Structure 1
Amino acid sequence: MVICDAESACKACHGSPESATTHEDCFLLFKQRYEAEDMFQRMLQRLWILVAWRIPWRRGPISAIDEENISIPDISAIGGYAFPMLRRLPPEIVQLIREYSPDSLLWRFGLALGLFQQLSTPASGDLVSMPLSDCLLWERDSLLAPTSCSASCSSPKPQFIRLTIDSFGIKRIERLLELSPYNPKRSERFLFVTIKESETKDVVVHFKFGTLRLEFPDASPGGFQIWDTETCPPPLGRCIFFWRQSIETAQFQTIDIRKITGITFFMAWNRVCQIHAHTAATPTAIQTWKQIPPMRRAVLTWIYLPISLNDDIIAFGPTIAARIRSMLTRFTLLFRLRLAGDVIVGPYQPNQHGPNGNAFFALTNQPVSTLVYGWPEPQNKYISTIGAVLNETPKPYQDDSLPSPQLKKPNLGFPYYSFASLWNVIRVIVYDNPDTGFCRGILLHYNNGAERALGQCRIGVDPAKIYDMPTYVCFIPQRYTRPNRPGQIKTAIVRCTNQDDHKHDEEGWVCTPMCHDLDFWFTQGQVDIWVD
């Protein structure tokens, strides 16, 4: 067997049979549970349906919902096997223990026992199929087959259909008489599809073992548009998308700008692998980082866009060249914030800068209330599209030049670029690599409430040094060699002080008063700081 990890759509995978993976020890536990051959084969078929149909349709999106939000391990079952005192603990304490030991085999054991309990629930093994357009109502918890409109509708049926999806697949199908107005409030537990019946031509519903899945005709796009908002999707007239590939079948995640403190973009090979919105409930991006395949984590660059509570995004967009190409390869975005000014997210691209070092961007003409992005698709593992919901109908793009300092040729290969003024800075937070002690990023707080980030600010992950009311930002360039890798890495140590007559033990320190600008070039493992 070959596990395909193609970076784009793979023709061989497209036509191959579906498959699912399981831990070897979990499968051995399953075999022990159902030792008799006839029972094993029957339960194996049911296990396959339960696992494969978690994806709501073939080649459909993998759910963006964390399973931990849907179910917790069967604590009673675990206690009955090995930890009887565990059953006496309050659920909140058990959850805290789980958060401190998320990779423990204990929790996987509990999930396996919970799955066995699902398999033991009586449910019909007969396959029931019908057109989605004929389906009136279905609820997974009822274990009953979908109700057909032809069998129960004496009056005209509602023309809107809503699917509710959780980490176990399609949870509910219902009919709506009318669509409720768009509300940006997102759900942490469910995803939603809201469509007209006329959009379901030749789409078939299959029901078996208490679960349900859709089948699309070969000639169709092969899916529906999915949103994380329970109300109807935002009117397309108020949406603007950059790189519009496959938005008809995209799984959209939304970020309400008014409820976040910042956004972390996970970049690999100049493309966005994942996005994390920092909120009071999710202050760090570590859980989002864990959703990225382990092999890709090793090459990730974290780019943090702080958005203070007093600030907002008044415009954003990609480089004009990227918009013309309509591709998410080597893209660079500009976010224009009311207080913080212009912030670049993405790689430095010399062919997209003018002779004076300024980059040209195609920006929205209106403030952004909600950011929208397409959840990474299984076949390419990158963000499929990015856009915004505007307060009004979008106006034509405005082509604008970034008033950044004149960019010199960087001394790093394929770097990312950030810059900030040190004027009116009242707090500096320096984030260091815990393994080397070298600087990864700098977060600046200004007296007007704005914030700017330089380099990689891994909030809540890397150790941070806080300096209030500094008068100097001091740094010393460094080089070091990584184990088992050729060449030297360029980096720096960064410290701050409010003492005008301070001294350093080593030569080579650059002490910068708070009346200059800093250019901060960086890659996944390197840093190069310049003073303007």
Structure 2
Amino acid sequence: MASPTSANIDAPLRIRLHRQCGACNHLFLPGDHLVALLCNEKSIRAYSVLTFVPNSQCKLLEHDNIQFCMHHICGFCSKLNEGEESVTVHADCLSMFGQTCSAPDKYQRLWIAGTRIYPWRTVAPLELDPGCCASPELISSAAGLHRTLLPELADIIGGYLQPHHALLRFCSVIRLAKELSRAEMDYAVTYPLCEVLSWSRGASPTLVEQGQAANPRVRLTIDSRGIERIERVSDDSQETTRDLLTNSHAYVVDLVEQLSGVSIGFQLGMSRLQVPTSVNISIWNVPSPQDLPRTTCITFHGKLSSGRFAALDLDPKQCTGLSFFLSIRQIMAIHGHTKRGSRAPQAFQHLNRDHSPGLFWIYIPITANDKVIAIGTREAYIANGGSYSIVLKMKSGTYFIGFPLVKIMGPIDETLHLIQEADDRHLTLIHEVPYNTGISFIAVDKVTRTTSRIIIKRSNFPHYSTHSYASLEGVVNARVLRDKEKGMCRGILLEYEDGTLRALGQCRLGLDTVQCYKHPTKFHYTIVKYSSHIKTHDSRCLQAAFDSESGLFSTHNNSEWKTCPMKGFLQFSFNHFGVAVRYHDAWRPHFDY
């Protein structure tokens, strides 16, 4: 690897590191060995970065006088975009690409492909899931076999591999290397975006001919490699659905006149926008955002950190629940669930690596018998800052998504938007998709009227905690979710006779182990203390179980275990220091505070 020395450079050379490989398009994992590529008109240079460390600050390698930065927005590297653009790749992907690509300028071509991951240079990382390209030919080539595997055998091998397995990464690298080997290298050709009628990766663009009538909107389809397709669409294309199990595509859809001044360059069968600072472009998770219903903003805090948005149709036939990932002060992400599963576990693990001491997970089940009747916010302002939380009122009860700042806080401004019920169409939730910061924008449709009030928050739970509650009567199934590290209860999911569900604590579906209890008759729990990462506090963990028709739970005559009948209410609070559980024999007004 060529590397400049400190004798040649007076100031440190700053190189931005990306979280996504420019060759295989997979996200980096802790410990991955990386190489950074820089390219100019004269040369392509490679710098070994050692290993990937999430959320790393600028790091100076003194022997080479090089400064690597893994932040998309860094105060020390605010002028980084003005210099040479970098591409980051796995060291083994770079080696595989070098062995497979036959073009004499192979590494320059790789650098071009790596920069095209970003649809335009200043956009925040999209980090879309790479598509699976594990064909029998590619698997055989990646494994170094001289004969092509039978399709059945290739399918078996592909089914056993983890998403980030090197063999799958190499399949993507080999596919890219073959495409770039065939592509004709020429100078980039640039057109105003409004003049492009259609285009797909690997082809030449079709331009709008003079006098030709074209649809009024431009749609860009984006995948993990950048812009995949450009097309003109009408105002009523009626494509608003998406698969909640994937995060493979994003879309830019706007009227042609709104994108005035935007141009697009084509090179090596790939494309990239050139966006002036005066133009704001929105990125969506649905292909036709113009067909989404008119919404009412329920929360807006500060400046939008990104121009990226997601729309979720809360039809219980499609969406079985919502997961909110929280830090102490912010909602970091929202993910939908389906009967087939969710991306939430993988997204949580990826996002959680960047936050210490970790994120919280609040799950809200959605069923046909339990509609959203109101949604709103609670905001509080005190000397050292403010906090806000989302209030979601359902027929089964209220959920609070967020953390109050202090044990006794007031006043709190509460604003609730009442949702129309007499309508066959289900609620649509739209929210910002920020990069490495909190969500500042959430909106819903079907709002009939808005109410506001000022309340005084008085809670007998510890400060910086969030709470949930549920009735213990009429429960037909109970699920206890336990973390895999200590086997402690993180959350409880209760199913009732009427088909509704209530979630208590952190129900991290797909991440924690689940134990089911059919027709529970009693609830048992105890608090166990552990040494905390915070020196001044012990961590309070919960052990919980139910008696059910399949057997009785034994507390081994331990007096620290508490037993509750299946009636009354259970209140569950948690924060970074642990959990608190309280049983109430009847409804208490403070449940909704």
Shorter-chain TM-score bucket reads: 0.7 to 0.9
Q: For residues 376-420 of structure 1, what are the alpha-carbon distances to aligned partners after superposition, in whole Å with 9 as ceiling and x for unaligned? A: 22xx444352222x14xx455322689x9x953334x52222222
Amino acid at match of 2:466: Y
Q: For residues 67-103 of structure 1, what are the alpha-carbon distances to aligned partners after superposition, in whole Å with 9 as ceiling and x for unaligned? A: 1xx34235424414535687214354343122xx334
**Aligned-partner SS, 2:86:** coil
Which residue is equivalent to 1:263? Answer: 322
Change (3 A) 1:214 1:284: closer
Q: For residues 250-274 of structure 1, what are the alpha-carbon distances to aligned partners after superposition, in whole Å with 9 as ceiling and x for unaligned? A: 2222222111111121223332332
Greater strand percent: which structure? 2
| 1:374 counterpart = 2:432 | yes
Equivalent residues of 1:429, 1:464 under 8 A apart: yes
Amino acid at match of 2:579: V
Q: Which has the higher contact order (CA 8 A, sep 6+)?
A: 1
Which residue is equivalent to 1:272? Answer: 331
Distance 1:510 1:20 in 2: 57
Greater helix percent: which structure? 1
Segments of 5+ residues of structure 1 without an aligned counterpart are none
Which residue is equivalent to 1:179? Answer: 235
Which residue is equivalent to 2:581? Answer: 529
Distance 2:448 2:441 in 1: 20
Distance 1:482 1:85 in 2: 55
**Aligned-partner SS, 1:46:** helix
Distance 2:569 2:79 in 1: 51
Amino acid at match of 2:417: T
**Aligned-partner SS, 2:89:** coil
Equivalent residues of 1:132, 1:200 under 8 A apart: yes
| 1:128 counterpart = 2:186 | no
Distance 2:291 2:305 in 1: 14
Which residue is equivalent to 2:414? Answer: 361
Equivalent residues of 1:311, 1:450 under 8 A apart: yes
Equivalent residues of 1:418, 1:521 under 8 A apart: yes
Change (3 A) 1:407 1:154: same
**From 225, 229, 232, the counterpart of 1:168:** 225
Superposed CA RMSD: 3.4
**From 48, 51, 75, the counterpart of 2:114:** 51
**Aligned-partner SS, 1:25:** helix
Deviates more, 1:425-434 or 1:234-243: 234-243
Which residue is equivalent to 2:481? Answer: 431
Equivalent residues of 1:416, 1:522 under 8 A apart: yes
Amino acid at match of 1:398: T
Change (3 A) 1:85 1:305: farther
Distance 1:206 1:7 in 2: 23
Distance 1:233 1:174 in 2: 15
**Aligned-partner SS, 1:20:** strand
Q: For residues 95-145 of structure 1, what are the alpha-carbon distances to aligned partners after superposition, in whole Å with 9 as ceiling and x for unaligned? A: 3122xx334322222222222112112234221112112222222242x1x
Length-normalised TM-score, structure 2: 0.75
| 1:22 counterpart = 2:83 | no
Segments of 5+ residues of structure 2 without an aligned counterpart are 1-13, 15-57, 59-67, 421-425, 585-593
How many residues matched? 502
Q: How far 1:7 sits from its partner (Å)?
A: 9.0
Equivalent residues of 2:476, 2:495 under 8 A apart: yes
- Once the two structures are superposed, the pairs formed by residues 175-324 of structure 1 within 5 Å of their partners are 175-176=232-233, 178-180=234-236, 182=238, 184-186=240-242, 188=246, 189-221=248-280, 224-234=281-291, 237-243=294-300, 250-258=307-315, 259-283=318-342, 285-292=344-351, 294-296=353-355, 299-321=358-380
Amino acid at match of 1:317: G
Q: How far 1:479 sits from its partner (Å)?
A: 0.8
| 1:118 counterpart = 2:176 | no
Change (3 A) 1:31 1:141: closer
**Aligned-partner SS, 1:490:** strand
**From 446, 449, 461, the counterpart of 1:410:** 461
Equivalent residues of 1:430, 1:495 under 8 A apart: yes
Q: For residues 225-278 of structure 1, what are the alpha-carbon distances to aligned partners after superposition, in whole Å with 9 as ceiling and x for unaligned? A: 122222342457434352166669622222221111111212233323322211
Which residue is equivalent to 1:447? Answer: 497
Equivalent residues of 2:297, 2:441 under 8 A apart: no
Q: How far 1:371 sits from its partner (Å)?
A: 1.5
Change (3 A) 1:212 1:351: farther
Change (3 A) 1:294 1:134: same
Change (3 A) 1:235 1:464: closer
Equivalent residues of 1:423, 1:516 under 8 A apart: yes
Amino acid at match of 1:399: S
Q: For residues 293-327 of structure 1, what are the alpha-carbon distances to aligned partners after superposition, in whole Å with 9 as ceiling and x for unaligned? A: 634386121211111233222221221448x9xx9
Q: For residues 431-467 of structure 1, what are the alpha-carbon distances to aligned partners after superposition, in whole Å with 9 as ceiling and x for unaligned? A: 1222222211111112222211111112132222222
Which residue is equivalent to 2:404? Answer: 348
| 1:459 counterpart = 2:509 | yes
Amino acid at match of 2:526: I
Change (3 A) 1:6 1:26: closer
Equivalent residues of 1:284, 1:459 under 8 A apart: no
**Aligned-partner SS, 1:13:** coil
Q: For residues 5-59 of structure 1, what are the alpha-carbon distances to aligned partners after superposition, in whole Å with 9 as ceiling and x for unaligned? A: 5596747336534322111222233344569xxx55x222221221111211122
Deviates more, 1:109-118 or 1:4-13: 4-13
**Aligned-partner SS, 1:364:** strand
Which residue is equivalent to 1:102? Answer: 163
Change (3 A) 1:414 1:6: farther
Distance 2:408 2:111 in 1: 50
- Once the two structures are superposed, the pairs formed by residues 27-42 of structure 1 within 5 Å of their partners are 27-33=94-100, 42=105
Distance 1:293 1:447 in 2: 36
Change (3 A) 1:446 1:170: same
Distance 1:466 1:509 in 2: 20
Equivalent residues of 2:201, 2:269 under 8 A apart: yes
Equivalent residues of 1:348, 1:417 under 8 A apart: no
Which residue is equivalent to 2:392? Answer: 335
Change (3 A) 1:385 1:515: same
Distance 1:291 1:118 in 2: 30
Change (3 A) 1:437 1:23: same
**Aligned-partner SS, 1:115:** helix
Length-normalised TM-score, structure 1: 0.83
**From 108, 133, 138, the counterpart of 1:72:** 133
Distance 1:84 1:96 in 2: 22
